Amino acid sequence: MVILYNPVSSPLKKPVLPFSLLAPAALLEHEGIPYQLIDGNLMTGSPLETLDRAVRERDAKILAMTVMPGPQLIEAVPLSREIKRCHPRLMIVWGGYFPSQHYEACLESGFVDFVVRGHGEHTFLELVKRIRAGEDGARTPGLAYREPATATVCPGRVPSLPDPDVPGGFPYHRLPMDRYVRNTFMGRTLSHHSSYGCPFLCNFCAVVNLSSGRWLAQSAERTAEITRSLVRNWDLDAVEFFDNNFFVSEQRVREFSERISNLSIRWWGEGRIDTLLAFSDSTWKAMARSGLAMVFLGAESGSDRTLRQMNKGGKASREKTLAIAQKMRSFAIIPEFSFILGNPPDPEQDIADTLELIRDVKKANPRSEIVLYLYTPVPLAGSLYEEAQKSGFGFPRTLQEWISPAWREFSLRRSSRLPWIDARQLTRLRNFERVLNAYYPTSTDVRLNGPKRALLRAAGGWRYHMRFYWLPLELRALQRWFAYQRPETSGF
């Protein structure tokens, strides 16, 4: 028996389909290997008690966890330690963004036996088969494992992208699907993954370590078929596509849009500015007719110099960000721009340039959503990471340090202890964000009625127009009076 566990992924336990476990679960099911899928976001009791009971009752030999930085890591560390103490012979396997990047710290802990690196569905399946056959699982290509003295990477396999057309599809029948339907600004919403990877190599992005510039997608026909099935089976109004980059192929996007145009739904996906600017107007019309409501786009910075450092190359620029904002306004599709602020080596100028771009974006398209992140390095060769190292930055060497308060902030992109940025700059960013989100309340918050929106805009308007962001105490008071949603992925 294999237990697949999804640690709590957000403080509010927001139920989002755990595709990182559904994908390997689909392969286990296809091979007839028994497994149990447990989602911590749906649990009301103790995770330790639940897993302990599952291990005992099912005589489980393997416990696999998907681990992202932040809340999942914070839960996974003590939980794995305790379950290993209770069941010393249980094989504990970690996979996901965090262990793929920091496998040494995971394996040095003593309670993580194996790390599946990158997109490791097939690696994990092979590991399970070897353990079930009584063989040495440590020699499975694609793994990292613990030798007596050091962490070791198995040679022989570059982790491949999994086939998005998994045999039989995702095993939704193993989950209480009704609990994953969320009421978003688009209506009753479920999510889907139609592709893996991204063909671009931005050196601040953790996806690069997992896919190395590769991209593999379902056909437009298959994606439309699954979308219809989700809408029909769970009475949906909308579908979110959690692909790293949904809009890589214009032909695929146009065909998909045409195939779902009579569904009367809305949908959301993530794309790249220069790619979408190259789409023809006929494709934009097809996307608009199909119900495309919003696209998440990495604008990243208002500094063209920083964009070059990010390996965005000449393909990204502040002018293209403004152009896509205007283009999407003409088709009534909302752009959701993410910005990474405070980039070395000159964070102050980077912040100044980016805040000016955000103001220009709002002029070009007031409906633009703005999501702010603070630059946090990933262990990837490139000028940004190298500049961070020059400032004295280094990653923790132990999991215990990773879950300390200071590094919890780092994982949430809220760290106040980055050596290249000072407290004054951080305060400026927090204050700007508070003013921006008051004057331009997010359109995704269904709780904000007309009077509340009007009150927020009036309270934030004078500050925004006067560029006076300092000490927005009245806006903090409003936030305490009625909690209004700010962009959920905000970095401050």
**What would the DSSP string read from start to end of 9-26?**
-STT------HHHHHHHH
Radius of gyration (C-alpha) of the chain in whole angstroms: 23
Alpha carbons 425 and 447: distance in angstroms, whole number: 32
Q: Positive or negative, the Cα torsion across 378, 380, 383, 385?
A: positive
Say how many C-beta atoms besides its own lie within 10 A of residue 122's C-beta: 19
Whether residue 382 is contained in a domain is answered as: yes
Check whether residue 102 and residue 241 sit in a common domain.
no
pLDDT of residue 93: 97
Check whether residue 229 and residue 137 sit in a common domain.
no
Alpha carbons 61 and 132: distance in angstroms, whole number: 8
CA separation, residue 322 to residues 75, 344, 356, 402 (Å): 40, 24, 12, 38
CA separation, residue 468 to residues 321, 338, 417, 428, 436 (Å): 25, 23, 26, 10, 11
Whether residue 166 is contained in a domain is answered as: no
Check whether residue 147 and residue 199 sit in a common domain.
no
Alpha carbons 283 and 279: distance in angstroms, whole number: 6
CA separation, residue 264 to residues 181, 239, 246 (Å): 18, 11, 20
> Which CATH number fits the domain that encloses residue 327?
3.80.30.20
CA dihedral 287→291→294→299, nearest 10 degrees, is 0
Check whether residue 453 and residue 416 sit in a common domain.
no
pLDDT of residue 309: 87
DSSP state letter for 202: -
pLDDT of residue 487: 57
Whether residue 175 is contained in a domain is answered as: no
> Which CATH number fits the domain that encloses residue 21?
3.40.50.2300
User: 404-426 burial, b for 16+ CB within 10 Å, e for fewer?
Assistant: eeebbbbbbbbbeebebbeeebb
H/E segment holding residue 465: helix 450-466
Respond yes or no on whether the N-terminal peptide bond of residue 345 is cis (omega within 30° of 0): yes
Alpha carbons 221 and 181: distance in angstroms, whole number: 24
Check whether residue 9 and residue 113 sit in a common domain.
yes
Q: Name the token pair of 313.
A: 């190359």
Check whether residue 67 and residue 115 sit in a common domain.
yes
**CB-based contacts of 489: which residues, under 8 Å, 6+ apart?**
338, 371, 373
In sequence order, the β-bridge partners of residue 91 are 62
Check whether residue 206 and residue 145 sit in a common domain.
no
Check whether residue 413 and residue 286 sit in a common domain.
yes
User: 22-61 burial, b for 16+ CB within 10 Å, e for fewer?
Assistant: bbbbbbbbeeebebbbbbbbebeeebeebbeebbeeeebb
Whether residue 168 is contained in a domain is answered as: no
pLDDT of residue 489: 46
Alpha carbons 24 and 128: distance in angstroms, whole number: 11
pLDDT tens-digit profile, the chain (492 residues) = 999 999 999 877 889 999 999 999 999 999 999 999 999 999 989 999 999 999 999 999 999 999 999 899 999 999 999 999 999 999 999 999 899 999 999 999 999 999 998 888 989 999 999 999 999 888 888 888 877 656 666 655 555 677 788 777 899 999 999 999 999 999 999 999 999 999 988 888 888 877 878 899 999 999 999 999 999 999 999 999 999 999 999 999 999 999 999 999 999 999 999 999 999 999 999 999 999 999 999 999 999 989 988 887 556 789 999 999 999 999 999 999 999 999 998 999 999 999 999 999 999 999 999 999 999 888 876 778 888 898 889 999 999 999 998 888 787 776 777 898 898 999 999 999 999 999 999 888 877 888 888 999 999 999 999 999 999 999 999 877 876 665 554 444
Alpha carbons 262 and 321: distance in angstroms, whole number: 31
Check whether residue 110 and residue 221 sit in a common domain.
no
Whether residue 400 is contained in a domain is answered as: no
Check whether residue 300 and residue 384 sit in a common domain.
yes
Whether residue 388 is contained in a domain is answered as: yes
Q: Name the token pair of 103.
A: 């496998």
Residues in the chain: 492
Question: For the chain, how many structural domains are there in total?
Answer: 3
Of 110, 136, 153, which marks where a domain is finished?
153
Check whether residue 145 and residue 219 sit in a common domain.
no
Whether residue 40 is contained in a domain is answered as: yes
pLDDT of residue 234: 97
Check whether residue 371 and residue 239 sit in a common domain.
yes
Q: Name the token pair of 419.
A: 């050596």
pLDDT of residue 148: 65
Whether residue 481 is contained in a domain is answered as: yes
Q: Positive or negative, the Cα torsion across 266, 270, 273, 275?
A: negative
Domain interval for residue 468: 435-492
Alpha carbons 197 and 208: distance in angstroms, whole number: 8
